[in-house]
Amino acid sequence: MTVLTVPMAETGAASITRRTRVLRRLRRNPLAVVSFVVLALAGVIALLSPWLAPYSVDQTDFARTFAPPGTAGHLLGTDDLGRDVLSRIMLGARASLQVGLLAVATSLVIGVPLGLAAGYFRAWDAVISRFTDLLLAFPFLIMAVGLAAIRGASLGNAAVAIGIAQIPGVIRVVRSDTLRLKSLDFVAAAVVDGASDLWVLARHILPNATSVILVQATVAIPAAILGEAVLSFLGLGIQPPAPSLGTMLATAQQFAARAPWAAVFPGVVIMGLALAFNVFGDALRDALDPKGDRR
């Protein structure tokens, strides 16, 4: 049993104090707190947007097209069809977050097992590296172009294209963390103890790799949000009339000189979401850094 106390050191009690230390560091970082609050608010608004939005997203009002921001009843103005910009932004942000989460989930589901395998089994490493190289050769936009040609443009296909493009990044960080963990004593102890490869990976390596996976996910979500905006802007993502921040900007481009606000607000929201994720991701990485307060 003395052998078993070694593995517990990183999986059991120690990780609880580590978690509290990380949380304490996050709470002391004002940027982390602000970005977390912004993200929490955005999440709540996105979840409840179908009920919170003052108007239905496709409710047109041809008597009041291009109403400037501040018009009674239309806080952020109206677009070319007299649709309420605020309502469309709320539902567009919801779609952005959906694509962001869906894309990152796709990349994690495929990337984490492959990263674990590449780091743990020497024989698999070369094969998985070639697979990574292959994926990297198709930039997300080109992947989206191909998918749109084969399966048509949609929210789901945009998310899949972005998610596939993010797999190599996940494999890279999980692989290198697996290599690091594999060389530690507690893993060797578990192997000596007769644990199977699968058991070691699931019980010892994966739980300890969660922090790098978490950091990877927080930087991948803003990239996915920007990716969705680009694809929808080009017409390869969410299809109108469904609201998306990217398609809103594409239509706004056509009458930008007349109603600049329609081209400004959706962009500000995309940037705000991505910025909040990036700031929080930075803070999380710093808080998880065992070297402490080095930034």
Partner 1 sequence: MARYLLTRAWQSALTLLLSTIVVFVGVRALPGDPALALAGEDRSPEALEAIRRHYGLDQPLPVQFAQYVERMAQGDFGVSIRTGTPVSSMLTTALPVTVELSVLAILIAAALGVGAGVLAAVRRGRPAEWLANGLALIGLSVPHFWLGLLAILYLSVATGLFPASGFVPILEDPVDNLHHIVLPAVILGTGLAAIIMRQTRSAMLDSLSSDYVRTAKAKGLRPRAVITRHALRNSLIVVVTVVGLQLGGLISGAVVTEQIFGLPGFGKMTIDAVFQRDYPVIQAVVLLTAAAYIVINFFVDLLYSVIDPRIRVTGDPA
- Would you tell me which residues interact with partner 1 (CB under 8 A)? 129-130, 133-134, 136-142, 145-146, 148-150, 165, 222, 226, 229-230, 233-236, 249, 252-253, 256-257, 260, 263-264, 266-267, 270-271, 274-275, 277-279, 282
Q: Which of 198, 200, 216 has its CA nearest to residue 288?
A: 216
Distance CA 268, CA 31 (A): 19
- Least distance CB 56 / partner 1 (angstroms): 26
- Least distance CB 174 / partner 1 (angstroms): 16
Distance CA 171, CA 118 (A): 8
- Least distance CB 212 / partner 1 (angstroms): 16
With vertex at residue 203, the alpha carbon angle to CA 199 and CA 208, rounded to the nearest 5 degrees, is 135
- Return the number of the residue (43 or 272) whose C-beta is nearest partner 1: 272
- Return the number of the residue (19 or 151) whose C-beta is nearest partner 1: 151
**Is the Cα torsion angle 264, 266, 272, 274 positive or negative in sign?**
negative
- Least distance CB 30 / partner 1 (angstroms): 13
Distance CA 140, CA 227 (A): 8
- Return the number of the residue (114 or 200) whose C-beta is nearest partner 1: 114
The residue to which tokens 């495929």 are assigned: 110
Two structure tokens written together for 292: 């402490």
- Least distance CB 54 / partner 1 (angstroms): 24
- Least distance CB 250 / partner 1 (angstroms): 9
- Return the number of the residue (189 or 273) whose C-beta is nearest partner 1: 273
- Return the number of the residue (129 or 154) whose C-beta is nearest partner 1: 129
Partners of 78 in beta bridges: 84
With vertex at residue 40, the alpha carbon angle to CA 37 and CA 43, rounded to the nearest 5 degrees, is 150
- Return the number of the residue (156 or 267) whose C-beta is nearest partner 1: 267
| DSSP 8-class letter at 239 | P
Distance CA 83, CA 62 (A): 9
**Is the Cα torsion angle 166, 167, 172, 177 positive or negative in sign?**
positive
